[in-house]
Amino acid sequence: MIFVGLFLFFLGVADAYRHHQDRLILREGLLVAFFLAGVGVLGGQQQWWLQPVLMSMSSDAVFFGATILTAFTDNAALTYLGSLVEGLADDFKFALVAGAVIGGGLTLIANAPNPAGIAILRGHFEEEVVHPLGLLLAALPPTIIAALAFCICDRPMHD
């Protein structure tokens, strides 16, 4: 109840002082919220097929797989689904999260916050059109550098 009151107060202030700020991106934020709620509700039912698939993979395969998959799927959903599998080693979990983070630059098209990201970025592109191939080509060099840095550095130290 307190949250609803504060949120309504925020909306009132934002509306009253509209000329001092950018428009609120409420629609895009709600799309993100519904997507993440769907992941939370439906994700728990995926363990039956994820467990055997992930248990048969090496941590290196998971790292590169997560890096590539993050370009097409949401990285939060990817790591959440990985957290559902019991019995994974720490280096395996690290590889999953590192792959999702490193591939994060590739996700403007796939990631849940993208409606908000597109709303913010659209004005900075010619004709306000965001071309996915151009974004992919721009994101590849930093992604490759981050992946190489991960491969050169050792995995997390164990006590």
User: pLDDT (tens digit, 9 = 90+) per residue, 71-121?
Assistant: 888 888 889 999 999 899 999 999 999 999 998 877 765 555 566 677 777
Say if 15 falls within a structural domain: no
What's the domain range around 67? 25-152
Assess if residue 9 is contained within a domain.
no
What pLDDT was estimated at residue 72? 80
Could you tell me if residue 50 is inside a domain? yes
**25: pLDDT strictly greater than 60:** yes
Considering the entire predicted model, what is its pTM? 0.73
Q: Is residue 99 part of a domain?
A: yes
Whole-angstrom distance, CA of residue 28 vs CA of residue 144 = 30
User: 137 lies in a domain?
Assistant: yes
The single residue listed with the structure tokens 């059109």 is 129
23 secondary structure, DSSP code: P
Residue at 53 is within a domain: yes
Q: Which residue has the higher pLDDT, 121 or 39?
A: 39
The answer to whether residue 83 sits within a structural domain is: yes
- Work out the end-to-end distance of the chain between its first and last CA atoms, rounded to an integer number of angstroms: 46
Higher-confidence residue of 112 and 54: namely: 54
Residues 6+ apart with CB under 8 A from 57: 65
Domain assignment present for residue 48? The answer is yes
Domain count, the chain: 1
